[in-house]
Amino acid sequence: MEKKEAKKYIPLGRAITKVLRHTASKMKLEIKSNGYVKIQDLLKVPPIAKFKPTMEDLENVVKYDNKRRLQFSEDKEYIRAVQGHTMPVFDFDEGNAIGRK
């Protein structure tokens, strides 16, 4: 994908990152202890739903994010922000706190 084409995913990526880092709990999203949120639930919250994203859109957001802010679970049913949280999140995969306590 060309750089120009990848740019179209920036607004969606920013919206997802904001929700996952800062507002997921306020939006009543269930957040697993390692920071993952079910993709089907994420797609229903207004800041994300307005984009009407497909799974392919989400894959491109993750793939082309130059700062690697987002990560899928192995089964691609969940997604998480990997840094910069303002809410408590612990990454049990790596054994590190990735959010505020």
Q: What is the pLDDT of residues 46-87, one digit of tens each?
A: 999 999 999 999 999 999 988 889 999 999 999 999 875 565
CATH of the domain at 49: 1.10.10.970
The Cα 62–Cα 64 span in angstroms is 6
- Report the domain count for the chain: 1
Per-residue confidence (pLDDT) for residue 101, from 0 to 100? 40
Report, as an integer, the average pLDDT of 83-99: 53
Report, as an integer, the average pLDDT of 6-24: 92
pLDDT band at 91 (very low <50, low <70, confident <90, very high): low
Beta-sheet pairing, 37-38 with 90-91: unpaired
Q: Which domain holds residue 7?
A: 3-97
